[in-house]
């Protein structure tokens, strides 16, 4: 025979208040709070998404998005425009460039041969076709052997690049919306490291344009 409920000591019995349901007004209050919190989150996300359309360029909006005017885009084939202080800190500075019509890139102004090596500064090289060059590179000896890059960030073929160092420039995600350019500083498109590369003779160290 099983043990019946009535056989249990009275001190173990649940009181009558345990059978009372949660008051209805408390349930309504909980639902209302959840609705308000959810609505607030939706409004915040919506405002943050539309922020680039409301601010006056240049401006940094939530999500580490830098809003620039479309007029900041250099003409096709012209010298890249450096975007840095005081708009953003030097560590996140970049070059805005338009290699071909409608192709807008934001190439980082700092570059490292590999992820574990110190960064070099990227400059616009003077003379010849538009191109970039690395400078202040502690990993290159002698300094004349620093790499150069095309306006799309790819290493030039005539650059001294050994098997451990060649890779292109990193860039930020860019979108053009009407009269605005939106650069997402939180989205870095990293150039992959190569496993082999040409090793031609050294080239003269380029000088930065003024």
Q: Nearest to residue 159, comparing CAs of 198, 110, 120? A: 198
Query: What is the pLDDT at residue 137?
Result: 81
- The better pLDDT of the pair 32, 61 is held by 61
The residue assigned the tokens 């099983």 is 2
Tens digit of each residue's pLDDT (9 = 90 or more) over 42-62:
665 655 556 666 788 898 988
DSSP bridge partners of 174: 183
The residue assigned the tokens 């202040």 is 136
pLDDT category of residue 35 using cuts at 50, 70 and 90: confident
Non-local (6+) Cβ contacts of 101 within 8 A are 76
DSSP per-residue letters across 28-56: HHHHHHHHHHHHHHHHHHHHHHHHHHHSP
Query: What is the pLDDT at residue 3?
Result: 55
Tens digit of each residue's pLDDT (9 = 90 or more) over 83-109:
998 899 999 999 999 999 989 999 999
**Considering the chain, what is the average pLDDT of its residues?**
76
pLDDT category of residue 12 using cuts at 50, 70 and 90: low
Average pLDDT over residues 169-195: 87
pTM over 0.75: no
Tens digit of each residue's pLDDT (9 = 90 or more) over 14-31:
555 555 566 666 777 777
pLDDT category of residue 201 using cuts at 50, 70 and 90: very low
CA distance 51 to 61: 7
pLDDT category of residue 117 using cuts at 50, 70 and 90: confident
Tens digit of each residue's pLDDT (9 = 90 or more) over 127-136:
778 889 988 8
Alpha-helix runs per DSSP H in 55-166: none
């Amino acid at each position: 025979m099983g043990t019946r409920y009535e056989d249990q000591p009275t001190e173990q019995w649940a009181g009558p208040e345990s059978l009372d349901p949660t008051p209805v007004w408390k349930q309504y209050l909980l639902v209302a709070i959840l609705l308000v919190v959810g609505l607030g989150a939706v409004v915040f996300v919506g405002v943050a998404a539309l922020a680039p359309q409301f601010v006056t360029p240049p401006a940094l909006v939530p999500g580490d998005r830098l809003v620039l005017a479309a007029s900041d885009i250099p003409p096709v084939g012209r010298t890249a425009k450096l975007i840095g202080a005081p708009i953003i800190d030097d560590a996140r500075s970049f070059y805005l460039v338009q290699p071909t019509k409608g192709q807008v890139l934001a190439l980082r102004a700092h570059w490292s041969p590999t992820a574990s090596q110190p960064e070099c500064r990227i400059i616009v090289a003077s003379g010849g076709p538009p191109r970039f060059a690395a400078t202040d590179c502690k990993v290159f000896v002698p300094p004349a052997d620093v790499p150069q890059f095309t306006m799309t960030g790819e290493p030039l073929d005539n650059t001294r690049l050994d098997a451990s160092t060649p890779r292109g420039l990193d860039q930020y995600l860019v979108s053009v919306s009407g009269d605005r350019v939106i650069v997402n500083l939180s989205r870095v498109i990293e150039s992959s490291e190569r496993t082999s590369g040409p090793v031609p003779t050294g080239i003269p160290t380029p000088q930065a344009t003024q």
